[in-house]
Amino acid sequence: MKFVDTLTMTVEGGHGGNGVISFRREKYVPKGGPDGGHGGVGGDVVLRGDKGTQTLLDLRYKRAYKAENGENGRGRDQTGHSGADLIIPVPFGTIVYDEESGEVIVDISEELPEFILAHGGRGGRGNSAFATPTQRAPRTQEDGEAGEFRSVRLELKLIADVGIVGSPNAGKSTFISVVSAAKPKIADYPFTTLAPVLGVVKDSYGGAFVIADMPGLVEGAHTGVGLGLQFLRHIERTRILLHFIDSSDEVSMIDRYLAIRQELDSYEAGEGFDILDKEEILVATKIDSANQDNLTEFAEYAKGLGKKFFKISSLSKDGVAELIGCITGMLREESEGY
């Protein structure tokens, strides 16, 4: 499935219907009396969070959305039908920005699952509304108002409990395929993961948590090098970071770890937000073919940092259960009733 996580589009509420000029045809009533009805209200454009929608792909090929117009009023004091609302389903985690000002309009979440992005216009009044004791046969009506128009940018930030970061080929995809039903692409070359992959992991308490495999980060990712910049934003919403470091590589694990940390530190997220403030678990992968000197050096380094450290092999599943147990415990401590 192709992953789309940002796009721009225009939204417009429906126009309100026009009021009409009409007169009853009744005997002994001056000019029949005014009975022009009001125009209907234009429909709203509504964003609605949808658990069945995972990406913004369905919105990619249509960039202009307009709700239905309200109907014009009719004689006999009949108000026109209101325009139908246009419901646009989006994934939870979708943030909407005003394209001109850059300000956040709404963050679609479980707490705010629905939002009117563009209001419909008010219907115009018919001539029946303008009748007075001195003006019994008004020939005045109002046109309906135009609907609200906005140019917006949608940005999806995945909502996952745990995010896996690391260099390309650090073993992230293999791990998520082992602990969940997710089936990411696995191959012996860089950037096999071209989009975040979500997996649901069952824990020993009968619950579950969501884990996200992020595309590999390389030096310069925060400036657009590789694929990292496009997906660094998704790390913002994870509660715990798993930092995978390949122990079979000859290059210093410490150097590779610090290079990724530098990219996370250089990424400018929201004001007052720092990715490095997140809980981090260090994970040495591919220990079945590890460079032992490299691994021993990194284990001492991790101990000095005071961080949780695990050694795993996704192929043999060594250390995997222990890692999942640690994650489960951390999530349970953080969330009441987890």
Angstrom distance (rounded) from CA 253 to CA 305: 14
Q: Domain containing 139 — which CATH number? A: 2.70.210.12
Instruction: State whether 191 and 141 are in the same domain.
Output: no
Check: CB of residue 231 under 8 Å from CB of residue 217. no
User: Is the domain of 218 the same as that of 257?
Assistant: yes
**133 and 256 assigned to the same domain:** no
Is the domain of 236 the same as that of 308? yes
Range of the domain at 13: 1-156
* Mean local confidence (pLDDT), 89-107: 90
Q: What is the pLDDT of residue 159?
A: 67
273 and 228 housed in the same domain = yes
Same domain, 315 and 174: yes
Q: Tokens 């992020």 label which residue? A: 214
The amino acid that residue 24 corresponds to is: R
From 111, 131, 156, the end of a domain falls on: 156
Least confident of 187-201, 213-227, 248-262, 316-330: 213-227
> Does residue 146 share a domain with residue 26?
yes
pLDDT digits (tens, 9 = 90+) for 35-62: 999 999 999 999 999 887 767 877 888 8
CB of 145 closer than 8 Å to CB of 15: yes
Dmax (CA) for the chain in angstroms is 107
- Say whether 309 sits in a helix, a strand or coil: strand
Residues 221 and 113 both lie in one domain: no
Helix (H, G, I), strand (E, B) or coil at 213: strand
Beta strand extents in the chain (DSSP E only): 6-12, 45-49, 64-66, 86-90, 94-98, 104-107, 114-118, 149-156, 162-166, 197-202, 208-213, 240-246, 279-285, 308-311
- Is residue 328 located within the same domain as residue 274? yes
Q: Are residues 25 and 122 in the same domain?
A: yes
Please determine, for residue 322, whether its predicted confidence score (pLDDT) is greater than 80.
yes
Strand locations in 203-313 (E): 208-213, 240-246, 279-285, 308-311
The structural domain count of the chain equals 2
How is residue 206 annotated by DSSP? S
Give the predicted TM-score (pTM) of the model: 0.63
Burial readout 48-66 (b: 16 or more C-beta within 10 A, e: otherwise): ebbeebbbbeebeeeeebb
> What integer pLDDT is reported at residue 224 of this predicted model?
44
3-state secondary structure of 311: strand
Query: What pLDDT sits at residue 259?
Result: 85
What per-residue confidence (pLDDT) applies to 183? 58
Query: Residue 31: CB partners within 8 Å, gap ≥ 6?
Result: 23, 136, 137
Q: Indicate if 99 and 193 belong to the same structural domain.
A: no
The Cα-based distances of 10 to 66, 99, 102, 187 in angstroms read 8, 9, 14, 40
Write down the pLDDT at residue 4.
53
Please list the residues that pair with 34 across neighbouring strands: 23
Give the β-pairing of 86-90 and 197-202.
unpaired
pLDDT score at 222? 40
Looking at residue 296, what is its pLDDT? 94
- Domain boundary among the residues 102, 130, 156 is at 156
- Identify the CATH number of the domain in which residue 326 sits: 3.40.50.300
Q: Which pLDDT score is estimated for 246?
A: 92
137 lies in the same domain as 280 = no
Output the pLDDT for position 175: 87
How far is the CA of 220 from the CAs of 166, 227, 243, in angstroms? Answer: 13, 10, 18
B/e letters for 85-94, b = 16+ CB within 10 Å, e = fewer, are: bbebbbbbbb
Strand order in the sheet with 6-12: 64-66, 6-12, 149-156, 94-98, 104-107
Residue where a domain terminates, one of 128, 156, 184: 156
